[in-house]
Structure 1
């Protein structure tokens, strides 16, 4: 039966039942309060109890103790949940995928309220919130009418702590963090104080957390894809005809260092003057500063290299280059080109949320009022890509060495700070993002005294999200290269030649810094340079200013850019209303619960941006487009849509230990913000005079999914259970792009724009298996305390999207297999927790690789990530009721993170290694 028909039936059932009704939205559901839990087993049992009592299918995480979440990072803690996988940035978990659906398909709430995000899209960076600040997380995998809309994948709610549930408590921790690659130790500390007054009717809670870490990770990248060359172009005298070979265009090795500082805190006031009234005010603030710097050697195999200097090329049977040698030892008349790069990715994130909640019980009614406001900002903007160039007498690279990283050797040249380098490329650009969210919600719940309808819920409210992005960029990042020396007003004495190229330089010593690195990628078996110079960016820019300060200010200083459609904002205002009834009765002496609901939403969209306009298009007498179309002006858009989202959750207690669940619903996720900016871009191929136009559609509809879930849960003992769940989602309305021919300004244009594809669908389908078992009943008392928690997820999904050869593309970000195994021991104050997390390979979409020597043609190929598994250890020893010693080891196995092309694992596009990290310290509680 189609979901829209089910919506009619559910609506009819509700209409006959809602003479009086009330509700309580998910963020204030007291059944999910998670407070005094101590120890691994207690937290697992509490999480399972939350799952057992819930009306919908969900999973939960609970803090093992106040200020002690299962992992130091919330994202990495979430990966312990069945169906949840984590995306890492520089080795740290940041974003989550639920049942194959990435962050744009999930909604993250804090205490039930959507929290603002400093990302460009709709996803949320979970590394923002320190795990010490939260008490628990619920991952709602099936819909209820009272749940916020927008999460086809899941609604993920993060709970902070309430003072009257904590009582009188002072707790804190002090730890040292050590990364084996950086070989540096950094401080990490947290503090919490909670107190209640007036016979426990009023409470105050304050918590803070500060972490610092200095880490290092190493990588090798093909960079700009694998170009395809004709052998006759590389070795014209060796008799080749049509044979081809593929080489990376700019292969590089990089040592990256991260300097991270995160400071956050929560504040809560709670007043409960009677059993009927509960008033809560809560606030959260977090600031995360990261400076990630990559120190890179990049090898321009062909760009800037005279092809006559190529000495030798060998090709594997797969058509990939096995080796290449450029230049002759000691002969600087036929050199290869090498580059030093300084790659910086700063992050300056500030996020806060404040909220007020009033809950009042009157007779059989429970009324709930909630208002909240949140802001998030990333003010970093300036990602840098700074390049200087030099020549090396000989470059030899060998991919046929039995390693995934090639051998890289030079002749007599040493890339240290004493080598002559010339100015090249200096890109400074990035986004400043500011997001604002707010809400005003009224909910209620009515509990009849008799009959099979045990609860009637309703609610209405207003939600707003306003996100703006400003793109900062330069006028000309290549101003100080050899492209056009005349734009720099400096004497010729400041110029020199490298391989026939005139460049500004040699660079002064102040523009360079000595560097040395050991243990590259955990002592990779490849033959690689052990040291190379770094770039002192401030010193380099001082040199550029000394050449021509006015040119530096004009061309290299970033400013807000109104071109290219990269500066825009989208505001969405949503009014919602929902109704939900809960029916409880028995079927042949088996208790059941039926939760039927309908949620209605109406969203008004307003967007703004800076765009070219078709009205400015003009052509000259030769049919060439004039520059008038490049004029950019402010544009805006207003639109709206509404949706009805039905849901049904059924729970049947086959026995007092065996529970069967069925869930049927329709869910939606809003389209990417990048597609909602009102932007038009116009261009012309100067050779063919073919005209092109790209235009966004701010009126795009949300994606929607028909969903069917099942679960059978066997709670066979107080500390043992086995759960099996299946899920099926059929997604419609994906955004696709198809060009059409249109007549504009009297000429034919190929116009490409996004639209919702309702003719094709994607299918997410699979199952989850979850098991918790302790062994106290099987072991002697002397061995009591051992247990295991394990889960496995299988996902067999189809994207419904195809490449140019009509081959179905894999679903982006989805691993077919995923499992977690946690073995723990807890007894006599000693706790040991060993966790292994695995996910199979998954797709990152497509990558563009040029077909050389022309950049005009390219191969569009798939990009996959290899399977990955992590082993983590957590241990603690309670010396007494107040003092606990702690130790954590993360990424113990240190596996390589590998991306490869077109399903061929020997076709490596990127590989990195992060090293292991350790934390040790003490937790105190009074």
Structure 2
């Protein structure tokens, strides 16, 4: 992370802390001089322990103005689970996704369009600068004292989610007992696969004098997390190869082959209506995430007068995340799409959109033209600072209000750096290098020809088996390895800032059922800018046609490619006679610190292999310059953009209360103005590159939207402990800003076997796909939501409830495919390829039921009184309007139809035990996951993620009032995610997570 990147946020943080410290000292002096003065009593609620936490959660839900579920920390700095997202998944209707095994992103009721708030107002998170889905990876859980999940709309509450919003709540000093409060913890963590010793440290200090208070929370942790990856590396590049018109690629005649005829009967069944599922690359990859997370939260509260209170908050987070990946990958060199030979092909039926019979094999031989030892290093640094100033005041005993200003700044930087070390020599896909004296395969010491590998997805994990060649275990000889290609792409920086100013008023009535009228106005401005870039290295040489030296800039530094037309024939082609760029980079000649040998591939181990050390690749510019000096950052204009969003809203809300009911009715007006700056693509600025175009100017699109958003919430006391609760509301949520700002990107690969048909050199990079990544005309998400439920509070620590909900989504964002002519690397359009893009589609709905049961078994005798349970189940079927291979309807992406949680806990004499399980049924990960039209009449295979069940255990023991020891095990069973394409036995890929052990000590004074 550069110093200039840190400067803005760091200066803001320092200023906030200096002002806070000055203000604190002045207040302390004033308190000492003035002594104790009479003031309004402030209720303080101290929650400690599992039972007390459950009582607080149920109390929040029971007396909430809408449909709300809560999570309360059971001690200072101690949420029930390891991460914020892991705790949120215990709430009915909440589903999460994981990043390296840790809970990260959150859905509510199947929708990712979830609002996020901090202490009741919007904040800017570095994990979600451009997206609408919350990502809490960078926020330490120790900074949060509780969370409310709001599932119904209220006029005075920020409406920035479709299915609901999440309100993170930090601790406020006036919520503490008077005097000083200190708490801290230190813990040890270790993973079952990584076997690295990690640590986490937290500290909390609070001071409350009734008139003045200050709180400081800090957290720091380091972790090394395992996340192995098996199967297809590019999930969007699984294909059906069809019979009929012959695909002019392939080997042998098992999968489609070259033929003088125009038709091929692959399986010899007498017809030409069969198709076969295959992909482009398969591998076993070891991945580790190294995370360093820092958090700081400070709050100052001052009772300025009997009728005026000032609150100031500073919330700072920082995450440095490095991902190391390495593994052996076998692929088709992005040219031979029929390289897989089935061993147990099975007919799976006829496609609804294709009319062809589908054959799928779970065991096959990969006739791989290329096998490479792949290494990648990614960095993902995040930093955010949010400052809040709030003044609450009373004008009369009936009229009160507040002014609030919030400023948020967030930055995120990401780099990707790749090294491909071939074990094959390159001859199988005609990749050669040329000097003035030599024309030879790019890796002359590598294995020649195609490598037959066994690939099997019929077991627990996809497995690759490698042959023994000439008595040598495949990959065991370092002499075989040559770093043929290296590049750095998909690098970006994102910056966002947020300003919010709002006024809220309240007038209390003391007659009739009308108790309160609330009103307010709010204005906000959010600016987000993304700059995406690639690294280009200069290559110079004499152009054979002009006799002059020229320089070309290259991203894919591949020693089998040519940068200069050295023979003057008008093409850059090593095969055609041009001198290739670069020199062999044999790993045997590397400094020993630059290579590693590893057999660490998790539960599947296919051998020991050599790789470029990913630690040496964390600095992408330094690594690229070490082999190809002079790299420059070149902005990728099709993925760079700026979006400004200005919102103005006003609301009025009336609260009613009678003998047996509570209700509120509100109306909100929202005006949303969007300005989207995209880039017009100019001339190419590089060769052998992705997205290498000049920025030819700006394309400005302005949009304005107006909404009237009604909301109704009510709760009827059917008896002293039985509540009927209902809600109606209309919601609006912003789109992911990338969906508005991005442009057209063209995917290219080496022509290879396509060269003859296209009349080009095999070395030319030709268009194979396109993506319209952004559409500024997409409308914001909007919905109409209904809730109706029964809640039975049969003790203060017990609840049995059922809630029905319906969400009518006005318009889904859908992907569409079309055929477009896209230019090859030389600017010539030679054919049409598949292009995907997003547009507003028809609406849909999600209906569901949520069941909850919570109880502390206080009625049991003696030791058994400490038992308790929390359980919930959600049923939420959905229909996206899309269909699968057979024409069956598909649900919404990332929505599990069924999810459940079960928590068993025990608390007695300082001992706390907790066993928690979370279940998600299968979910649709992506629609239309097949990638392209290589012999493919249809493109309608859904990618699914199998059902998962995660088990966690934690325990703690209070040694005395001041000290506790604790421990836990997360992901006890080493659960993992498995993805399949249409058929559950055809595993496409897997993400393998580890079990984590925690031991720690906590102190409190």
TM-score w.r.t. length of structure 1:
0.83
- 1:331-360 per-position Cα deviation (integer Å, ceiling 9, x unaligned): xxxx96311111222111001101011111
- What corresponds to 2:286 in structure 1? 255
Distance 1:680 1:257, change over 3 A: closer
2:558 is paired with a residue whose SS is coil
Contact 1:768 1:791 in 2 (8 A): yes
- 1:597-649 per-position Cα deviation (integer Å, ceiling 9, x unaligned): 00101112112121249xx9xxxxxxxxxx9x987212223332111100011
Q: How does 1:675-754 map to 2 (within 5 A)?
A: 675-677=739-741, 679=743, 697-736=775-814
Residue range with higher mean Cα deviation, 678-687 or 817-826: 678-687
- What corresponds to 1:510 in structure 2? 591
Distance 1:78 1:417, change over 3 A: farther
Distance 1:770 1:920, change over 3 A: same
Separation in 1, partners of 2:624, 2:716? 78
1:795 aligned onto 2:876? yes
Distance 1:180 1:803, change over 3 A: closer
Separation in 1, partners of 2:779, 2:238? 37
2:941 is paired with a residue whose SS is strand
Contact 1:117 1:435 in 2 (8 A): no
2:51 is paired with a residue whose SS is helix
Shift of 1:214: 1.3
Contact 1:425 1:477 in 2 (8 A): no
Distance 1:305 1:712, change over 3 A: closer
Contact 2:788 2:805 in 1 (8 A): yes
- What corresponds to 1:184 in structure 2? 196
Q: How does 1:40-189 map to 2 (within 5 A)?
A: 40-102=50-112, 105-118=113-126, 119=128, 120-166=130-176, 167=178, 168-189=180-201
1:574 aligned onto 2:586? no
- What corresponds to 1:241 in structure 2? 265
Separation in 2, partners of 1:835, 1:283? 33
Distance 1:33 1:229, change over 3 A: farther
- 1:132-183 per-position Cα deviation (integer Å, ceiling 9, x unaligned): 1111100110001011122111111001111122242011001111111111
Shift of 1:906: 1.3
Separation in 2, partners of 1:372, 1:398? 55
Separation in 2, partners of 1:49, 1:488? 78
Shift of 1:547: 12
Of 380, 397, 412, the match for 1:378: 412
Shift of 1:320: 3.1
- 1:421-480 per-position Cα deviation (integer Å, ceiling 9, x unaligned): 233332312221111111011001111122210011001111121111111113433232
Distance 1:275 1:54, change over 3 A: farther
Separation in 1, partners of 2:630, 2:743? 29
1:874 aligned onto 2:954? yes
Shift of 1:656: 1.0
- What corresponds to 2:944 in structure 1? 864
- 1:310-332 per-position Cα deviation (integer Å, ceiling 9, x unaligned): 9x7523325334544578xxxxx
Contact 1:61 1:136 in 2 (8 A): yes
Contact 1:595 1:649 in 2 (8 A): yes
Residue range with higher mean Cα deviation, 134-143 or 472-481: 472-481
1:808 aligned onto 2:889? yes
- What corresponds to 1:640 in structure 2? 704
Separation in 1, partners of 2:835, 2:455? 45
Separation in 1, partners of 2:175, 2:625? 65
1:428 aligned onto 2:436? no
Shift of 1:488: 11
- What corresponds to 1:359 in structure 2? 392
- 1:580-599 per-position Cα deviation (integer Å, ceiling 9, x unaligned): 0011124xxxx112210001
Separation in 1, partners of 2:581, 2:366? 17
Distance 1:693 1:720, change over 3 A: closer
1:132 is paired with a residue whose SS is helix
Shift of 1:404: 3.0
Shift of 1:728: 0.2
Shift of 1:33: 9.6
Residue range with higher mean Cα deviation, 604-613 or 831-840: 604-613
Contact 2:458 2:985 in 1 (8 A): no
1:667 aligned onto 2:742? no
Separation in 1, partners of 2:485, 2:793? 63
Shift of 1:487: 7.8
2:390 is paired with a residue whose SS is strand
Contact 1:850 1:858 in 2 (8 A): no
How many residues get paired? Answer: 841
Shift of 1:129: 1.4
Separation in 2, partners of 1:235, 1:681? 35
Unaligned runs of 5+ in 2: 1-39, 258-263, 268-274, 348-358, 425-446, 537-553, 568-573, 684-690, 749-756, 760-765, 821-828
TM-score w.r.t. length of structure 2:
0.77
Q: How does 1:186-335 map to 2 (within 5 A)?
A: 186-197=198-209, 200-224=210-234, 225-229=237-241, 233-236=250-253, 241-243=265-267, 245-300=276-331, 314-318=343-347, 319-325=359-365
Separation in 1, partners of 2:617, 2:212? 59
2:87 is paired with a residue whose SS is helix
Distance 1:234 1:680, change over 3 A: closer
1:603 aligned onto 2:672? yes
- What corresponds to 2:20 in structure 1? none
Separation in 1, partners of 2:715, 2:870? 24
- 1:398-429 per-position Cα deviation (integer Å, ceiling 9, x unaligned): 41663432241321244247232233332312
Contact 1:323 1:396 in 2 (8 A): no
Shift of 1:273: 4.0
Contact 1:819 1:837 in 2 (8 A): yes
Of 952, 964, 983, the match for 1:884: 964
Contact 2:872 2:902 in 1 (8 A): yes
- What corresponds to 2:402 in structure 1? 368
1:907 aligned onto 2:986? yes
Of 714, 726, 730, the match for 1:650: 714
Contact 2:370 2:422 in 1 (8 A): yes
1:341 aligned onto 2:419? no
Contact 1:336 1:395 in 2 (8 A): no
Residue range with higher mean Cα deviation, 87-96 or 120-129: 120-129
Separation in 1, partners of 2:793, 2:729? 26
1:530 aligned onto 2:607? yes
Of 582, 588, 594, the match for 2:663: 594
Separation in 2, partners of 1:33, 1:605? 43
Contact 2:488 2:620 in 1 (8 A): no
Contact 1:35 1:161 in 2 (8 A): no
Of 405, 409, 414, the match for 2:466: 409
1:42 is paired with a residue whose SS is helix
Separation in 1, partners of 2:870, 2:560? 61
Separation in 1, partners of 2:321, 2:905? 34
Contact 1:417 1:513 in 2 (8 A): no
Separation in 2, partners of 1:648, 1:49? 21
Shift of 1:552: 4.5
1:840 aligned onto 2:913? no
Unaligned runs of 5+ in 1: 1-29, 328-334, 617-626
Separation in 2, partners of 1:826, 1:547? 57
Q: How does 1:755-766 map to 2 (within 5 A)?
A: 755-757=839-841, 760-766=842-848
Distance 1:264 1:529, change over 3 A: same
Shift of 1:370: 0.8
1:46 is paired with a residue whose SS is helix
- What corresponds to 1:462 in structure 2? 523
Distance 1:307 1:465, change over 3 A: closer
1:51 is paired with a residue whose SS is helix
Separation in 2, partners of 1:34, 1:419? 70
Contact 1:286 1:352 in 2 (8 A): yes
Residue range with higher mean Cα deviation, 272-281 or 916-925: 272-281
